[in-house]
Amino acid sequence: MIPIYEQGSGNGIGHGLDSFLNRFDCICSEHRKEGRAKAFAFIFYDFTDKAIRHILKNKGVFAKLDRLSGKELSVFYLHAGTRHAIETFNTNFLAALGVEDRASLPCVVFFRYENDLIRDVEIAQLESADLIHGFKELYEAISSYIQRQPKPSIQSKAIVWLKSGTKFIGIEVFRAGLKKGLEFLF
């Protein structure tokens, strides 16, 4: 679990939004080379979704999800205090990943990063809006993705899985789309 902070770099774990945008591909490459992750994910949520925000802020939940993702998956999420930052982040990252028309909030978007390409984009659509079920659903989505890789034929009964229509996204196209859409956040 790797938070992306709206401002600054946080305490210890995480990245500032500005540095994350500039180093996204380097971060993914480093995680793969160092054996920290085989795949990646973003958690997207609505600013008004208090349950998901509470889940992501809880240190115990963070630790459980971090242990679950282990060396299989690096999971990024925006830790921000403003509605504008979260909405802008969601809009631009979902568009850059090519899933803006398929994903609705809250969701987890999984992908692989290899040879400067983002590929195998999948969406786990989360449904639960309350605190207890929201954590269970998020945990199940991550667990299910890890267990079924590289076998996409196995499906979870509780999570709606959607595949992106995009075959791959070049990192330069991804970065250019993000920078253009997020430039007014800085």
Residue 15 main-chain phi, psi, to 5 deg: -135, 150
pLDDT one-digit tens code per residue, 118-162: 888 999 999 876 777 888 999 999 999 999 765 444 444 445 555
- Decide if 79 contacts 4 (C-beta within 8 A): yes
Tell me how many degrees the CA angle 98-102-97 measures, rounded to the nearest 5: 20
* Residue 90 pLDDT > 80: yes
Q: Does domain 2-185 have CATH number 3.40.1440.10?
A: no
DSSP for 65-80, written as a single string: HHHHHTTTEEEEEEE-
pLDDT one-digit tens code per residue, 7-65: 665 555 788 888 888 888 899 999 999 999 999 999 999 988 888 888 888 888 889 99
Distances (CA, A) of 29 to 25, 64, 123, 152: 6, 24, 22, 23
